[in-house]
Amino acid sequence: MVFTGILLGAGPASACNVPVFRYALERWKPDAYEVHVFHKGQLSERDRAAVRLLERQAAGAANVGVEVVDLDKNPDESLRELYAEQRGATPPWVVVRTSDLNAEAVTVWSGKLDAAAVAALLDSPVRREVVRRILSGETAVWLLLESGDRAKDDAAEELLRTELARLARKLKLPKLTDDPVDRISPKGPPLRVAFSVIRLKRDDPAERLLVKTLLTSEDDLAAKTEPMAFAVFGRGRTLAARVGRGLNAKEIRSACVRLLAPCTCDVQKDLACFDLLLSADWASTGAVPPPAPVLPAQKPPPPASPEPLTVEEDQSLVPRRVLWGAIGGMALLVVVTGVWALRSGRG
């Protein structure tokens, strides 16, 4: 019984009740996109201005890392190979890479360096709207990547909107407590259950990087011609595509339930996700620091499970058992003697 109590006391602490989508918004840092600028010799003033724009965004709102590579200075072999893979490339040339669902590096854009190209890399109308909706408190924004077949795309949108509206009414937020791990930033948007849909054309010239990012998130998506749906939450984290028969009410519900579930330590690596390249002032949501450690005087740690007795420890207990047995025997003798004395006095 004692050992059972000790083992129960050593069980896991209660989970954080902050829903996954809000925890991700306040605490998950998005992966940086690699932007390689290949050139030979001196850059022109116009090209240097485009590079400075990239570098300012890398140091500020966008999740990008910029590397300027002078091909005349014998760069690393991996960089030379990356440039050699570019068909028809003439420096200055930009290559943008990120990681897919399997953490494999994929190229999502490449082209000539110029200010217009850089601006399109860092921002676009759909991505700007995704950021706006997330910062307004939406649980997730669903991107519906059209197939080009109007009937199929309309049917997919109707399914998404109908199911998401139903889930917004039915699903509930976890109940937050006064525990420090359940704190959310007062600077963040209101905590609510809300979903929306944005349709995205595959041939939209303003969204080329976004479309390529979605289609390269898995190695077989580019060949598929059905409508695809991607749930975007947090700071641009995006769930794996629901496509074809996988775009159904059950899968939509499963995705939404996972985003509303209390966050755990393992959820970030368990979710099949990738990050979008977004320019946003996420700091306005107010990053929440981890709770301070609980001092032993306030809440002692649970006792550890008992270790098996060694032979030496077992022998050390024998004198104690003998001692306690002797004390018990003496107490019994005192009681018996007292009773005998009382009976003798009455006689």
The 3 state secondary structure assigned to 152-189 is: HHHHHHHHHHHHHHHHHHHCCCCCCCCCHHHCCCCCCC
Q: How many domains does the chain have?
A: 1
Structure tokens at 118: 């850089």
* Average pLDDT of the residues in 30-54: 94
Residue 60 banded pLDDT, cuts 50, 70, 90: confident
Mean pLDDT value of segment 262-285: 86
d(C-alpha 207, C-alpha 143), whole Å: 12
pLDDT at 1 over 50: no
CA distance 284 to 280: 9
In which element (H, E) is residue 257 found? helix 249-260
Q: What is the pLDDT of residues 4-27, one digit of tens each?
A: 333 333 334 346 899 999 999 999
Token readout for 87 is: 């068909």
pLDDT for 283 equals 82
**In which element (H, E) is residue 242 found?**
strand 242-243
Residue 258 has pLDDT above 70, yes or no: yes
Do residues 110 and 94 touch, judged by C-beta distance below 8 A? yes
pLDDT for position 310: 33
Helix (H, G, I), strand (E, B) or coil at 279: strand
Cα–Cα–Cα angle for 122, 100, 131, nearest 5°? 35
Q: Residue 234: which of 266, 202, 290, 276 has the closest Cα?
A: 276
What is the amino acid identity at position 221?
Answer: L
Report residue 173 as tokens: 């937020």
- Residue-level pLDDT at 228: 98
Q: Is residue 308 part of a domain?
A: no
pLDDT mean across residues, the chain? 83
Average confidence (pLDDT) over 265-279: 87
Average pLDDT, integer, range 148-176: 97
In a domain, 235, yes or no: yes
Give the structural domain span for 83: 20-285
Q: How far apart are CA 96 and CA 228, in angstroms?
A: 23
**Rounded mean pLDDT of 214-241?**
97
The verdict on residue 338 lying in a domain is: no
Q: How many other CB atoms are found less than 10 A from the CB of residue 126?
A: 19
State how beta strands 237-239 and 228-233 pair.
antiparallel
Please indicate, yes or no, if residue 40 is contained in any of the structural domains. yes
Is there a contact between 281 and 132 (Cβ–Cβ < 8 Å)? no
Residue 266, pLDDT score: 75
**Tokens representing residue 33 in the block:** 């996109």
- Over 90: is that where the pLDDT of 167 sits? yes
Residue 7 located in a structural domain: no
Is 181 contained in some domain?
yes
- From residue 181, give the alpha-carbon distance in Å to each of 153, 288, 335: 42, 10, 57
Which one, of 270, 21, 250, 33, lies nearest residue 137 by Cα? 21
**Tokens coding 166:** 């139903």
Mean pLDDT within 207-233: 97
Cα–chain-centroid distance for residue 202?
27
What's the pLDDT band for 346 if we cut at 50, 70, 90?
A: very low
Phi then psi for 127, rounded to 5 degrees?
Answer: -65, -35
- Where do we find the tokens 């509206």? 165
Between 11 and 177, where is the model more confident?
A: 177
**Residue 219 is which amino acid?**
D
Q: Does any domain span residue 91?
A: yes
For residues 335 and 319, the model is more confident at 335
What average pLDDT does range 260-265 have in this prediction?
Answer: 88
Confidence bin at 67 (pLDDT 50/70/90): very high
Checking DSSP bridges between strand 33-39 and strand 64-70, what pairing results, if any? Answer: parallel
Contacts 24+ apart (CB under 8 A), 77-81: 79/36, 79/38
Q: Is 116 a member of any domain?
A: yes
Q: What is the pLDDT of residue 264?
A: 83
Lookup: tokens for 278: 């977004």
Which element (helix H / strand E) includes 308? Answer: none
- Is pLDDT above 80 for 323? no
Give the pLDDT confidence score for residue 333 in this predicted structure.
55
Predicted pLDDT at 294: 36
How far is residue 17 from each of residues 22, 24, 29, 192, 260, measured CA to CA in Å? 10, 13, 20, 14, 10
147 confidence band (pLDDT: 50, 70, 90): very high
For residue 277, list its beta bridge partners: none
The pLDDT assigned to 110 comes to 95
Mean pLDDT of 291-314: 38
Identify the pLDDT of residue 241.
97
